[in-house]
Amino acid sequence: MMFLLVILIVPGLGFVGVQGFRNFFDDSANVASVAGHPITRAEYDAAMREQFDRARQVLGASFDVKAIDTPETRRAILDGLVQQLLLAKTTEDLHLSASDQAVLRAEQSIPAIAALRKADGTYDVDQYKQLLAMQGMTPKSFDERVRYQLASQQLPEGIQTSAFAPKALAQQLASLSEQSREVQGLALHAADYADKVHPTDAQIKQYYDAHHDAFAVPESATIEYLTLSAGTLAQRVQPSDAELKKYYDDHAAKFKISGEVRASHILIAVAANASKADRGKARQKAESVLAQVNAHPDQFAKLARQNSDDPGSKDKGGDLGFFGPGMMVKPFSDAAFKLKKDQISGIVQSDFGYHIIKVTDIKPERIKPFDEVKAAIATELKTEKAANAYAEQAGAFTNTVYEQASSLKPAADKFKLPIQTATVTRGPNPTLPSASPLNNAKLLAAVFADDSTRAKHNTQAIDVGNDTLVSARVVDYKPASVQPFDAVAAQVRQKVIAQLSADKARKEGEAKLAEVQQSKSTAGFSSTTKVSRAGAQGVPPQAVAAIFKADPQKLPAYVGVDLGNDGYAIYRVNAVDMPASIDAQRLSGAQWQIAQVLGDAEWSAYVDALRARSRVKLYGTPAATND
């Protein structure tokens, strides 16, 4: 159920069908179309930003936007959007859906929702609604998104899980995977040749001239900048108690808490795939229990312990605690909210089976007290007033920084904003949060424009998102440069020595390899060790690959491995050990792995076929984003 976590983070593209896919974005420009349904540039940009954010989270300080924003990445993201729209369309065409029971199980498996479960097994309805509201959803819309997500998974899961891997193929794969080889190694370390190479001044200068990029200093600018944001303005707003009370009185419906009922039930469970005969037997049992309940309503709890198939409530006499509308499957919820206190229902059928429900308590609909919601109202009013103030001041701020372009002080004084300073480069700073204004591509482009770096004029007010405007002024600009040779000569010399040492180790290693291939000598080699694909301690990955490429029919076999700046290594392969047998668990795992690969291939072929008959049009891969 990991995919369901996405629902509580961002609105996905495939949860609500083809039309839902369209409604999340503006149709400002199209990058592709599927059977006449466009994929807009806005959709593409959103997907690209999501890819950037994931990369930032994983890579941290080593994140480089240029390494991520490549033609290959852009095409892969576009293909992914096409596939999502294909899947959404096909799910609708095939009328795929998911049961109420499946939706409820899926929702309750989400950690954020599971955490709302109380000791008595019920859920905190208010917190549940608040959690969804923070994501712009209601319980009903969330149910539909989960339902569609489950439905859309049926197609790929059905195809991918249909693949079968022959046992013989799995046996062969497992045997090769667990094969080990007895080897001896001979290493020629580049470091051992460092005192044997003596680079000339000409070689050092030549290396410097050929590798200017390694000694480059990127252009940078020291800037002053002002930030006008709704968030900052909100800190200056303090609504009065009278305003808070008036808002409360005018918006009473907003603070209404839906009524809740406390109910107990007796469940006679029926499997989803039960036969007609089994369903009939379960119905007869439910009718029998209902007759006993009606005859002895005061013994409902006892009868629940004796007959209910719900393990969560059986031992509690069927008690489910309080719940609000929509918290239970629809037939159950509808029936419970029609009952009066101490009233018992007839037989209610749901995806779980047959229920007999008794309402034991009712909490009527109510309005939250003013004191309980006062802080929330204050926050809302501050946000509202700040948004209005921002809308009013944004234009004046823009005009001020433009009309008095030689300094930010007039704008700072007028809008009571602090002048901040920073040093920036043309590319984003990975040590700053991705949402930082100083990482905004438009702002950086404006900072490094000629009018800023040469004339030292204020930039225009740049909208960096989240109701925030930023204007910057370059105080000091340093163009990109290459450190002078004299400043880095010692550093260059070490690089040349390392390169020449590695070259010498490689040449001597290649000569030694040719020699031992003829003589079969073991002189200078290490003691024998076993190497497997899963365990090769002390053996570089590229050496492991070379060792397992050696012909097992021609032993001893010798392989040479170029270790780059580390030097060169020779390995003598003496023997190949095959596993005597493969245990059942390992064989089953190998079959599963092969089936996964085959299933993925079948799904990929199915998607290709869908594309071929769905009139997919690509209007060129979008250029690099401005994120």
Sketch the domain layout of the chain as residue ranges: 2-163+601-618, 180-200+486-577, 219-240+372-479, 259-364
Query: What is the mean predicted confidence (pLDDT) over 232-258?
Result: 86
d(CA 328, CA 325): 7
Residue 251, pLDDT score: 86
Q: What angle do CA 129, 134, 135 make, to 5 degrees?
A: 100
Dihedral sign of CA atoms 149, 151, 154, 156 in order: negative
pLDDT by residue (tens digit) across 410-435?
999 999 999 999 999 988 787 787 77
CATH 3.30.70 fits 2-163+601-618, yes or no: no
d(CA 56, CA 60): 5
Identify which has the larger pLDDT, 273 or 563.
563
Q: Which amino acid is at 333?
A: S
Please, what is the average pLDDT of the chain?
85
DSSP state for residue 267 in the 8-state scheme: E
Q: Which helix (H) or strand (E) holds 562?
A: strand 557-562
Identify which has the larger pLDDT, 418 or 592.
418
Query: What is the mean predicted confidence (pLDDT) over 514-537?
Result: 88
For residue 461, is pLDDT > 50?
yes
Query: What Rg do the C-alpha atoms of the chain give, in angstroms?
Result: 35
pLDDT by residue (tens digit) across 209-232?
999 988 988 899 999 999 999 888
Residues 6 or more apart whose Cβ sits within 8 Å of residue 426: 218, 219, 444, 448
Confidence band (pLDDT; 50, 70, 90) for 119?
low
Is there a contact between 33 and 171 (Cβ–Cβ < 8 Å)? no
Confidence band (pLDDT; 50, 70, 90) for 621?
low
User: Can you read off the two tokens belonging to residue 498?
Assistant: 């390392």
The pair phi, psi for residue 426, each rounded to 5°, is -65, -30
Query: What is the mean predicted confidence (pLDDT) over 272-283?
Result: 90
Beta strands in 324-398 (DSSP E): 344-350, 353-363, 366-367
The CATH code of the domain at 259-364 is 3.10.50.40
Residue the block writes with tokens 């001597």 = 508
Q: Which amino acid is at 605?
A: A
Is there a contact between 68 and 624 (Cβ–Cβ < 8 Å)? no
- Out of 32-46, 285-299, 432-446, give the one with best mean pLDDT: 285-299
Confidence band (pLDDT; 50, 70, 90) for 112?
confident
CA end-to-end span of the chain = 31
Comparing C-alpha atoms, which of 186, 171, 176 is closest to residue 548?
A: 176
Q: What is the DSSP string of 27-70?
A: -S-EEEEETTEEEEHHHHHHHHHHHHHHHHHHHGGG--HHHHS-
Residue 336, pLDDT score: 94
For residue 206, is pLDDT > 60?
yes
DSSP state for residue 212 in the 8-state scheme: G
Residue 32 vs residues 36, 38, 546, 609, 614: alpha-carbon distances, Å: 9, 6, 44, 17, 12
Residue 585, pLDDT score: 76
pLDDT by residue (tens digit) across 311-345?
889 999 999 999 888 788 899 999 999 999 999 99
Q: Which helix (H) or strand (E) holds 415?
A: helix 409-415
Q: Is the pTM of this model over 0.85?
A: no
Is there a contact between 290 and 248 (Cβ–Cβ < 8 Å)? no
Compute the residue count for the chain: 627
Query: What is the mean predicted confidence (pLDDT) over 516-545?
Result: 88
d(CA 501, CA 485): 22
pLDDT by residue (tens digit) across 344-368?
999 999 989 999 999 999 999 888 8
Query: What is the mean predicted confidence (pLDDT) over 264-269?
Result: 95
Percentage of the residues of the chain whose pLDDT score is greater than 70: 92
Grouping H, G, I as helix, E, B as strand and the rest as coil, residue 462 is strand
Identify which has the larger pLDDT, 31 or 478.
478
Identify which has the larger pLDDT, 303 or 577.
303
Residue 13, pLDDT score: 36
Residues 6 or more apart whose Cβ sits within 8 Å of residue 285: 268, 307
Comparing C-alpha atoms, which of 82, 93, 78 is closest to residue 154?
A: 93
d(CA 377, CA 407): 39
Residue 355, pLDDT score: 96
Sheet containing 344-350: give its strands across: 319-323, 260-269, 353-363, 344-350
Count of C-beta atoms within a 10 Å radius of residue 317? 18
Residue 24, pLDDT score: 37
Is there a contact between 405 and 474 (Cβ–Cβ < 8 Å)? no
d(CA 567, CA 114): 55
For residue 556, is pLDDT > 70?
yes
Residue 1, pLDDT score: 36
Residue 12, pLDDT score: 37
Q: Which residues of 168-196 are buried (b: 16+ CB within 10 A; e: fewer)?
A: eebbebbbebbbbbbbbbbbbebeebeee
466 φ/ψ sector (left φ>0, alpha ψ -120 to 50, else beta): left
Of 48-57, 60-69, 282-291, 495-504, least confident by mean pLDDT is 60-69
Angle between helix 71-93 and 139-160 (nearest 10): 100
Chain-centroid distance, C-alpha 607 = 23
Query: What is the mean predicted confidence (pLDDT) over 133-159?
Result: 84
Query: What is the mean predicted confidence (pLDDT) over 620-627?
Result: 53
Percentage of the residues of the chain whose pLDDT score is greater than 90: 42
Residues 6 or more apart whose Cβ sits within 8 Å of residue 302: 317
Query: What is the mean predicted confidence (pLDDT) over 112-138?
Result: 77
For residue 2, is pLDDT > 60?
no
Residue 268, pLDDT score: 95
User: Can you read off the two tokens belonging to residue 600?
Assistant: 């993925």
Residue 351, pLDDT score: 87
d(CA 172, CA 578): 11
d(CA 501, CA 182): 30
Residue the block writes with tokens 């007796």 = 266
For residue 570, is pLDDT > 60?
yes
